[in-house]
Structure 1
């Protein structure tokens, strides 16, 4: 454990970029373009010396950093169902606007879910990685309304019974 002064610790400047594993670069780039309005930065394409494309960098409005899609089928498949990224939206009305947007595009998504503090919408990408939209404004419901059993929430493994 580091017992040194916090003032001596180096501090990063922020997030340089996010990287997601995908099974198909072009398909995922199109999906993130349709769903999030992402634009491909072709000048940042990642290619091996032989010209083989292995990464695409996207500029995603509102993300605050770039998103790299990295061709890594084994990892993408292993992470299917994992909620890798949660984006903030203002309130339930903003979430409903996203639902309309997604429905117009025929993009599958969860219903609005009562999460711990706010409303949550889950959107599986083409590889099954779960992009989440979470409201900044709380839903104002008490704990009895939280949908712990929703298949769209990741609540960790079920508790294991105690042995006596």
Structure 2
């Protein structure tokens, strides 16, 4: 198993569909960055249905030593910036990101990226889930936008 660094959306959506506990079953260690923890804490204080990270003993909050380039800051949120910065320091880790631009930037930097759907697919492939089709519907119901094409491709990869 590998280690992973997660941005906000995979933590949020896996929590909302009741599958956040897949992460410690798929990865040795799971990290996130302070801005992600702050974002989720702020959401909780405002009454949103978000995970409280202190409840997950397997999740470690780590600050990157350096920040990413200023030009990235124009188009990415602070969570994505810190997540990518930490991933650049720890190249052997898988980064969990759903934002399209953040994913492309991380991949261009040579970082392995998984989205929330890939987490579900890998969990099914490892026998941790019997099916992912109902979970993809749950993700959509919880606010995650998933195109019909992406849904078809993921379900095809899952043999569903």
Give 1 or 2 for the bigger CA radius of gyration.
Answer: 1
RCO comparison, higher one (Cα < 8 Å, 6+): 2
Larger strand percent: 1
**TM-score of Structure 1 vs Structure 2, range by shorter chain:** 0.3 to 0.5
Query: Normalized against structure 2, the TM-score is what?
Result: 0.34
